[in-house]
A = this chain, B = another copy of it.
Amino acid sequence: MGRVYTLGSSTTALAPNVPPMLELQFGVPMAGAIICNLNTRLDHNMLSTLLKHSEAKILFVDHKLLSVVEEAIDLLERMHSKHPRVVVISEPGGSGCEYESLVSSGVTEFSIIRPNNECDPISLNYTSGTTSRPKGIVYSYRGAYLSALASVFIRGGTNICLRRCDPEDIFDNIMNHNVTHMDGAPTVLNMIVNSLLTNQKPLPHKVEILTGGAPPPPTIISKIEELGFQVRHVYGLTETFGPATLNLWKPEWDRLPCEEQMEIRARQGVQIFVTEEIDVKDPITMESIKRDGKSLGEIMIRGNTVMSGYLKDLKATEEAFAGGWFRSGDLAVKHPDGYIEVKDRCKDIIISGGENISTIEMETVIYNHPGVLEVAVVARPDDYWGQTPCAFVKLKDNVDVDERDIIEHCRDHMPHFMAPRTVVFDDLPRNSTGKVQKFVLREKAKLMGSLSY
């Protein structure tokens, strides 16, 4: 906490999920270097920024992404900045397969280079950020070790690598390789549910699907489970090495009505066993909030599986750890059984006439409408109420739904004051990691002008 990190030797990798990526996760730290995985959707501007910020010495790049790398390196050269040596990962048997020839030139007697201290950095992980202020999250060996103990890696599972996220490919691979576990953000679950043929056969065996990154809408959980998946809902951030909580199912919940079960399934749950402490606290007083399912507070986490800090950003690191806990920026309630439920991101919550409105709760209701494919709700400035909810909706193909239908649907399923005042039908803007960019929608909502009643 508050330490300044200098990189001994950073190695970056820019590739989709292909076997060399998996090898690099182990091989790079075993060679004494720090592994930094970059997002394949980055443009050359952001890429050059991150290569510079991470002081990358070597860049492993998938052959299909070589052009964006060349542009980024051109840019670095024009700025007279150092740039990494590039190693291309080609298709097996392809020409110029530098990665494979590098691997085959290795010596089998090589001794693993171990860290001097278990708190030394093992990897660098960039999360969303701007070119002016990239956020490079530093993981320690200690944290990575404990985090691995809570994953299927420790069981020696076989990994199936998919170049792209395609529902047909996913089903084919599950069948061909008897896949038992997979990971996927709610967007992926949504894609699977909506893209399949209506005569899609259910899976021949149960597949456990770990989902997180955003609260999965209950309707999507219910639909994907009909296909033979078993959803395990986890919650965490890049800063917490991924999953920090798990929605651990209690047998007595099996007897509840289906709808109530789906509500419970969307909760974030309880800490996983490598998370030392997680709590929902008042961000000012740092007091734990009541376990009443109503009081809002911020989720805070501490322990081994929390990042060491943001690279070269002491200020952001200190802010993130103010009060001795990592502040998630997520607003949540605690149920009487201790289970946590995220209500919103701190910056997304809508305050209308003094009432807190959770955009996640609204989105859950709107997702239930049969014509809706995707939805995001943001605040729209309002002279009288302060803010009112504005819903951006992407409809399914060939459905006939208008603003009135959506608002009526909301009024039927939630308190009237929570229903959106405005509904906009449009595609949703997403960032490079597939997350909806609510700040773009907030700008759009603002430009629509304030409403007066």
Contacts and interface: CB of A to CB of B under 8 A. Distances in A.
Interface in A125-175: 149, 154
A273 interface: yes
Contacts of A273: 149, 154
A378 B273 CA distance: 46
4 contacts: A149-B149, A149-B273, A149-B274, A154-B273
Copies of the chain in the assembly: 2
A57 B339 CA distance: 39
A154 B154 CA distance: 15
Contacts of A149: 149, 273-274
A135 to B, nearest CB: 29
A154 B146 CA distance: 13
A274 B154 CA distance: 10
Contacts of A274: 149
Interface string A381-411: 0000000000000000000000000000000
Contacts of A154: 273
Nearest to A154: B273
A249 to B, nearest CB: 12
Nearest to A155: B273
Interface string A263-279: 00000000001100000
A154 B149 CA distance: 12
A127 B273 CA distance: 30
Interface in A253-288: 273-274
Chain A to chain B: the 4 pairs with minimum beta-carbon distance, closest first: A154-B273, A149-B149, A149-B273, A149-B274
A149 B305 CA distance: 15
Interface in A402-424: none
A304 to B, nearest CB: 10
A323 B137 CA distance: 39
A321 to B, nearest CB: 19
A274 B149 CA distance: 9
